Amino acid sequence: QVHLVESGGGLVQAGGSLRLSCAASGRTVSSATMGWFRQAPGKEREFVAAIRRGDPRIYYADSVKGRFTISRDNAKNSVYLQMNSLKPEDTAVYYCAARNSPFSSIRGDEYDYWGQGTQVTVSS
């Protein structure tokens, strides 16, 4: 069983930055494809970023490309999402997810484990 715990959310002004962390237990993040998703009120969950198991290939949603950076620290068994130039439309609950497959996916239903989420609110 994999347990994921997100942290780092909060309230920030537009243009600001936040760094989300996802601490994993029960499995090393290097052996899983790790992803970040978000869900805004009244909207469907959407893909944000993913990093593949075993190699550094990274994928981003077009809406965050150039502003967000996903990274992995194997020594700390954690995954991070650095979010810069935040916009009010980035406001959402952000979820960390893990996938057993070595391939990345933008589909949430293809991930096997989920964290509880952390709220990010960007004020205008």
Determine the pLDDT at residue 109: 94
Contact 52, 99 (CB under 8 A): no
CA dist 22 → 15, 19, 82, 98 (Å): 23, 10, 12, 10
* Residue 116 scores a pLDDT above 90: yes
φ/ψ of residue 53, rounded to 5: -65, 135
Contact 40, 91 (CB under 8 A): yes
Q: Which tokens in the block code for residue 51?
A: 């990093």
pLDDT in tens, 9-48: 999 999 999 999 999 998 888 888 999 999 999 999 999 9
Determine the pLDDT at residue 27: 82
Average pLDDT, the chain: 94
Q: Which tokens in the block code for residue 46?
A: 């959407």
pLDDT in tens, 43-78: 999 999 999 887 778 999 999 999 999 999 989 999
pLDDT in tens, 97-114: 999 888 889 999 999 999
Q: Of 109, 120, 102, which Cα lies nearest the Cα of 54?
A: 102
